[in-house]
């Protein structure tokens, strides 16, 4: 029977706890215990809380490999002339050059407006600006590659020429190629390289980082009563398989990031369960991307607030993710999220300051 490791019992700092705490993925989160979870097929069958200082004798080869991935520092990303370090949470700003995205579709009348918005997000503190030309919201329809390229290419070219680290949000190899030619230096694929059979080779040949996001079903139907035996285990196993497939295609693990796919083929309960167990996913050994900004779950928990009135919920999810060591937060509201993370970082810094 296989077991998984979920860090828990977090503390503000390691001081005074020698040998009793571990650092999560080289970041600013420390934990004093783990939940050893036994899984049977696709479900959790039992669990046991084990203090960190008692764990060493409990690790078989597989658990030892997980432990090494959990505690290993995440390598920095080099995106053109920009470097993104993951010793603290970073922000990825969203620019949707689409007429129908759930939150900001149709907001940008032309590429110039979108590029100006992307530049403002970078100035406000976004380490990466993610540009997309196809909505993958629930119920959306696929967009022809030519239209997608026409929407994003001038935006990416203008942002990249200004020194902004740009990611492209696409699942199509031809769009990836065009975006990389325009200056994008990272691929964010909501299909995790399953939509276009040429995508993995395109990314491997380019040597750029890629975000592999979990999804269940196509955007047109993914929210039609999604079901799981155990959403946490199934998403973990699916991402594990996609990492292996990416590596087999020649993409180095150091260039792979993973995303739990908040809202992509998941109910409100599924989304909340994944967020509560986010720390488990660090044992995949890749930086975690979380994109809960303005999502439908926030509306469901706050009197059906519309997408443009979900800032408070978006910040709550961002801080929940930061507290569990997530490295990259994909958000619409960059200045507000950056400010929240600065307060979060201030609290961490104070806890790490030796008392006089």
pLDDT tens readout for residues 142-175: 889 999 999 999 999 999 999 999 999 999 999 9
Q: What pLDDT, on a 0 to 100 scale, did the predictor assign at position 104?
A: 53
Percent of the chain with pLDDT over 90: 88
**295 part of the active site:** yes
- Identify whether 325 is part of a domain: yes
Q: Which of 3, 295, 296, 348 is catalytic?
A: 295
Please tell me the total count of domains within the chain. 2
CA atoms of 44 and 227, how far apart (whole Å): 16
Same domain, 195 and 50: no
- Identify whether 355 is part of a domain: no
Residues 257 and 210 sit within 8 Å (Cβ to Cβ)? yes
Over residues 45-63, the mean pLDDT reads 95
Same domain, 121 and 50: no
Sole residue written with tokens 């899984």: 39
Check residue 303 and report its DSSP letter: T
- Identify whether 354 is part of a domain: no
**216 part of the active site:** no
Q: Which of 3, 171, 242, 330 is catalytic?
A: 330
Q: What pLDDT, on a 0 to 100 scale, did the predictor assign at position 247?
A: 98
Q: What pTM did the predictor assign?
A: 0.94
Same domain, 89 and 11: no
Q: pLDDT-based confidence at 110, cuts 50/70/90?
A: low
CA atoms of 72 and 74, how far apart (whole Å): 6
Closest C-alpha to 146, from 108, 177, 105: 177
**Would the pLDDT of 1 be above 90?**
no
Is 324 buried (19+), middle (13-18) or exposed (0-12) by CB count in 10 A? buried
Q: What pLDDT, on a 0 to 100 scale, did the predictor assign at position 108?
A: 54
What six digits make up the tokens of 49? 């809380």
């Amino acid at each position: 029977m296989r077991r998984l490791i979920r860090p828990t019992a977090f503390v503000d700092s390691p001081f005074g706890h020698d040998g009793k705490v571990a650092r999560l993925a080289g970041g600013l989160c420390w934990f004093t215990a783990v939940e050893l979870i036994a899984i049977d097929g696709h479900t959790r069958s039992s669990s046991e809380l084990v203090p960190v200082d008692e764990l060493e004798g409990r690790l078989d080869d597989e658990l030892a490999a997980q432990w090494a991935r959990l505690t290993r520092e995440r390598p920095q990303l080099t995106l053109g002339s920009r470097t993104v370090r993951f010793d603290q949470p970073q922000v990825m700003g969203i620019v949707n050059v689409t007429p129908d995205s759930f939150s900001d579709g149709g907001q940008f009348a032309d590429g110039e407006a979108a590029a100006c918005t992307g530049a403002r997000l970078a100035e406000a503190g976004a380490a990466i600006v993610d540009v997309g030309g196809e909505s993958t919201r629930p119920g959306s329809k696929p967009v022809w590659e030519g239209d997608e390229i026409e929407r994003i290419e001038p935006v990416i070219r203008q942002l990249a020429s200004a020194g902004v680290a740009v990611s492209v949000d696409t699942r199509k190899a031809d769009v990836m190629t065009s975006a990389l030619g325009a200056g994008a230096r990272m691929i964010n694929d909501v299909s995790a390289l399953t939509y276009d059979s040429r995508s993995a080779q395109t990314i491997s040949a380019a040597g750029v980082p890629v975000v592999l996001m979990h999804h269940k079903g196509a955007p047109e139907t993914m929210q039609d009563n999604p079901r799981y035996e155990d959403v946490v285990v199934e998403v973990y196993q699916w991402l594990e398989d996609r990492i292996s497939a990416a590596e087999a295609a020649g993409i180095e693990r150091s260039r792979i990031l993973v995303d739990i796919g908040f809202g992509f083929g998941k109910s409100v309960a599924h989304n909340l369960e994944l967020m509560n167990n986010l720390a488990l996913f660090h044992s995949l050994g890749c930086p975690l991307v979380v994109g809960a900004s303005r999502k439908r779950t926030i509306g469901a928990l706050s009197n059906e607030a519309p997408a443009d009135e979900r800032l408070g919920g978006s910040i709550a999810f961002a801080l929940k993710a930061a507290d569990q060591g997530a490295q990259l937060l994909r958000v619409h509201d960059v200045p507000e999220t950056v400010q929240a993370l600065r307060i979060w970082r201030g609290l961490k810094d104070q806890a790490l300051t030796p008392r006089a």
